[in-house]
Amino acid sequence: MDYAGRVLLLDAGESRLHAFDKNGHRLPIGHIAVGPNSLRVNIDQNRGDIMVFEQSGAFLKISANTRMPRTYEWTPDKHRFAPLAIRTAVNVFTRIRSLGHDSVLALLPNELLFLIFQHL
In a domain, 83, yes or no: yes
pLDDT digit string, tens, across residues 35-54: 666 666 777 766 677 777 77
CB–CB of 77/51 below 8 Å? no
In a domain, 111, yes or no: yes
- Rounded to a whole number of angstroms, the CA Rg of the chain reads 18
Q: How far apart are CA 83 and CA 74, in angstroms?
A: 10
Question: Got the DSSP string for 32-96?
Answer: -B--TTEEEEEE-TTT--EEEEETTS-EEEE-TTTSSTTSS---GGGGGGS-HHHHHHHHHHHHH
Q: How far apart are CA 54 and CA 34, in angstroms?
A: 9
- Could you give the angle at which helices 110-118 and 84-99 cross, rounded to 10 degrees? 160
Strand partners, 38: 54
Amino acid occupying residue 42: N
pLDDT at residue 117, rounded to an integer: 85
Give the chain's residues under pLDDT 70. 1-4, 12, 14-15, 29-40, 45-47, 59-60, 63-72
In a domain, 53, yes or no: yes
pLDDT at residue 6, rounded to an integer: 76
Does the predicted model carry a pTM greater than 0.85? no
pLDDT at residue 106, rounded to an integer: 83
In a domain, 1, yes or no: no
Structural domain harbouring 94: 76-118
Are residue 58 and residue 11 in the same domain, yes or no? yes
Are residue 13 and residue 52 in the same domain, yes or no? yes
CB atoms within 10 A of CB 102: 6
